[in-house]
Amino acid sequence: MTDYLNSVSIPVIVTVVYVIIDLVKTTIAPYTTLSARLSHFYPLIALALGIVTAAVMYYAVPESFTQTNLLVALAIGAASGLTAVGTNQVVKQLAKTTDDTAGAKGSSSDEDNANV
């Protein structure tokens, strides 16, 4: 059971931080006048959430980390929080690339139809 918890701790932190940041983006950010400024702080928010999540996991489920040092667990949480931001950017860029290729195909056919 401990081996399972050791291998799951980092993806759990990444998933928790990713979901919380996504919830902030979809619920709070559109209704505030500071949404443009708030978007600059998402990596820092994710870093703090990763550290808090790691601290909670370190004390609540001590088997989830192989390290016996709290500082190392917090560093893992910080890195996992920043990984959530990177994951969000990968998903966003893949969606953007998919939309761009669909738009490029549609625009070239529209231009061909206009030339005919």
Name the nearest CA neighbour of 14 among 72, 44, 54, 66.
Answer: 54
Each residue's pLDDT tens digit, 100-109: 776 666 555 4
Q: Are 9 and 57 in contact (CB under 8 A)?
A: yes
Number of structural domains in the chain: 1
Encode pLDDT of 5-19 as tens digits.
667 888 889 999 999
58, part of any domain: yes
Instruction: Tell me if the pTM is above 0.85.
Output: no
**Residue 95 is assigned to a structural domain of this protein:** no
Q: Is residue 115 part of a domain?
A: no
Give a yes or no: residue 6 inside a domain.
Answer: yes
The verdict on residue 60 lying in a domain is yes
Name the pLDDT band for 116 (thresholds 50, 70, 90). very low
Domain that holds residue 28: 2-85
What average pLDDT does this structure show over 25-40? 77
**Is residue 31 included in any domain, yes or no?**
yes
Asked if the structure places residue 99 within a domain, the reply is no
Establish if 116 belongs to a structural domain.
no
